[in-house]
Structure 1
Amino acid sequence: MGYLNNQTGYPQDILASRSIIKRDNYALIPTDGLVRNIIPGFENCDVTILSTPKLGATFVDYVVTLHDGGGNREGFGGEEIETFVYVIEGKITASADSKDYPLTSGGYLFCPAGVTMRLENTNGGKPSQLFLYKRRYQRIKGYEAHVVSDNVSRLEKIDYEGMTDVALQDLLPKDLGFDMNIHILSFKPGASHGYIETHVQEHGALILSGQGVYNLDNEWMPVKKGDYIFMAAYVPQAAYGVGHEAFSYIYSKDCNRDVDC
């Protein structure tokens, strides 16, 4: 039921989908049903565009598979666009400001506005899968963002709001030069948010492991590894982890800025 799970051609059952699209509110997009998008600059890659302004987001998220020799050597981002890449699996070389950053699973690179990102698969002929993000930078006087690269295996795990069974990792600095952050939130089986959140920030979230039950606008729905969720500003949201392994997802959040009126 889609190119990512190699189920194409005539269906073996009735056509059905767990997708839920409510523009300017929220969306649940499972792996089944994803299609390839042709994007200039990406060679020998399968690219799927997820959240966009057409959905109601102020950012764009992608899932990208780099095949043997695949990548983007022309450049992604630059000018007033900030970008971020996270390696779901595989091995790549990302570059920024003429510096190379070898990245393996859990590795990431953030490029601020004005810095172009380039990507190359270096996984020994095997594919690599990426979570990719871009957003127009919101400048404020006296502050600038900078290039950041690391691996989540080296990052501190913080008890989320004091709960020892929910862990938060901050992938970018808490610095006013950054108008957004990327986090990974992990729930042990049976753990949950402490309350249903309602806030001005929007999120794009890709589930990295496990299974959960997510509340979006007071509708509970099952979710699992590979699913993508868009949450617009003020959408009530919360989750439970279920199953036999940690339920975790990587997500973006706009922050560190006042709101125009």
Structure 2
Amino acid sequence: MNTSSYYAPQGGLPPQTQLLTDRAVFTEAYAVIPKGTFSDIVTSYLPFWQDARFWVLSRPLSGFAETFSQYIAEVQPGGGSDRPETDSGVEAVIFVVAGAIALTIDGTTHQMAEGGYAYLPPDTAWQLHNSGDVAARFHWIRKAYQPVEGLDAPEAFVTNERDIAPTPMPDTDGVWATTRFVDPADLRHDMHVTIVTFQPGGVIPFAETHVMEHGLYVLEGKAVYRLNQDWVEVEAGDYMWLRAFCPQACYAGGPGPFRYLLYKDVNRHMPLNR
């Protein structure tokens, strides 16, 4: 796996001559945020971060998707935070798509390069700094952890996708595979963040319709993706945000693999009392 193929936004601003027509769309069932949207003027700044900015891809939104938020962070050399998370009870996943970071968890520092993945349990003490000489870019996925009496919270861990063999989906001859960072049978986890890979011509051969909310960031390649009743062309750098029960399917068009970082909420009863 050549991790340099991960797409990461660079910012900037389109010229005044650029046409306004684009693929961005927000519907009642899904949103598509194309890579051209990630300009300088849509970045956010967060407390206690230095030399860092964030593209907010999704956030809890009443009546749409309510379980998670996802950012792409850009941290300049020497930048970072000693207090990155300001909410309590929040778990997180970090996935590095460009550059390098030093992630410190409970006093132990981990050097993470492209393809690096970290899970941070709720209320973990952690810090993050850019340990390289170029800008670091990474996904930061946050979720309010749903504790269950009798189940401990998961422990923190750091790995790299290069060290994990993808799991082929049944009866697909390997054209559809999932890189799983967490054992699906480990019910302590209430979210999964995986990497899904389709070889050219690979498909999701039916309209998946289920309770999970989804965030899909295209790391590499292109495809035609079915969202609700629409077929939408997507490519590296695009983000798809799906509410629960939005039908989805996929056809990978090639010429290379189509890969995306996937969030979904899992392993919990549907809350009935609020």
* Same fold at TM > 0.5: yes
Q: CA deviation at 1:9?
A: 5.7
Which residue pairs with 2:24 in the alignment? 19
Q: CA deviation at 1:253?
A: 1.2
Q: Contact 1:72/1:118 (CA < 8 Å) preserved in 2?
A: yes
Are 1:204 and 2:215 matched, yes or no?
Answer: yes
Q: Secondary structure at the match of 1:32?
A: helix
Which residue pairs with 1:29 in the alignment? 33
What are the Cα deviations for residues 105-149 of structure 1, in whole angstroms up to 9, with x where unaligned?
Answer: 1111111111133211112x2111101110000010111211021
C-alpha change, 1:117 and 1:161, in structure 2 (3 Å) is: farther
Q: Secondary structure at the match of 1:150?
A: strand
Amino acid at match of 1:169: T
Give the fraction of aligned pairs with identical amino acids, expressed as a percent: 27
For 1:223 and 1:181, the matched residues in 2 are separated by 22
Q: Secondary structure at the match of 1:229?
A: strand
For 1:134 and 1:6, the matched residues in 2 are separated by 22
Which residue pairs with 2:182 in the alignment? 172
Q: CA deviation at 1:194?
A: 2.5
For 2:217 and 2:81, the matched residues in 1 are separated by 22
What are the Cα deviations for residues 14-34 of structure 1, in whole angstroms up to 9, with x where unaligned?
Answer: 2222111125x2110012123
C-alpha change, 1:83 and 1:5, in structure 2 (3 Å) is: closer
For 1:77 and 1:169, the matched residues in 2 are separated by 30
What are the Cα deviations for residues 168-207 of structure 1, in whole angstroms up to 9, with x where unaligned?
Answer: 1111233111111111100001111131100001111111
For 1:88 and 1:213, the matched residues in 2 are separated by 23
Which residue pairs with 1:193 in the alignment? 204
What are the Cα deviations for residues 217-244 of structure 1, in whole angstroms up to 9, with x where unaligned?
Answer: 0200100001011111000001111121
Are 1:57 and 2:86 matched, yes or no?
Answer: no
What are the Cα deviations for residues 16-57 of structure 1, in whole angstroms up to 9, with x where unaligned?
Answer: 22111125x211001212311111122111211111113533
For 1:241 and 1:122, the matched residues in 2 are separated by 36
Are 1:223 and 2:223 matched, yes or no?
Answer: no
Q: CA deviation at 1:7?
A: 4.5
Q: Secondary structure at the match of 2:179?
A: strand
Q: 2:107 aligns with which of 98, 123, 129?
A: 98
Judge which range, 228-237 or 162-171, deviates more: 162-171
Q: Contact 1:79/1:115 (CA < 8 Å) preserved in 2?
A: no
Q: Give the 5 Å matches for 1:227-246.
A: 227-246=238-257
Q: Secondary structure at the match of 2:205?
A: coil
Judge which range, 176-185 or 4-13, deviates more: 4-13
Q: Secondary structure at the match of 1:259?
A: coil
- Structure 2 stretches of 5 or more lacking a match? 1-8
For 1:70 and 1:77, the matched residues in 2 are separated by 18
For 2:14 and 2:221, the matched residues in 1 are separated by 28
For 1:210 and 1:58, the matched residues in 2 are separated by 28
Judge which range, 226-235 or 65-74, deviates more: 65-74
Give the TM-score of the pair, scaled to structure 1: 0.93
Amino acid at match of 1:134: R
Give the TM-score of the pair, scaled to structure 2: 0.89
Q: CA deviation at 1:8?
A: 1.8
Amino acid at match of 2:180: D
Q: 1:129 aligns with which of 137, 151, 165?
A: 137
For 2:239 and 2:67, the matched residues in 1 are separated by 16
The count of residues paired between Structure 1 and Structure 2 equals: 257
Q: 1:181 aligns with which of 174, 189, 192?
A: 192
Which residue pairs with 2:6 in the alignment? none
Q: Secondary structure at the match of 1:75?
A: coil
Q: Between Structure 1 and Structure 2, which shows a larger proportion of strand residues? A: 1
For 1:106 and 1:84, the matched residues in 2 are separated by 12
Are 1:120 and 2:129 matched, yes or no?
Answer: yes
Which residue pairs with 1:38 in the alignment? 45
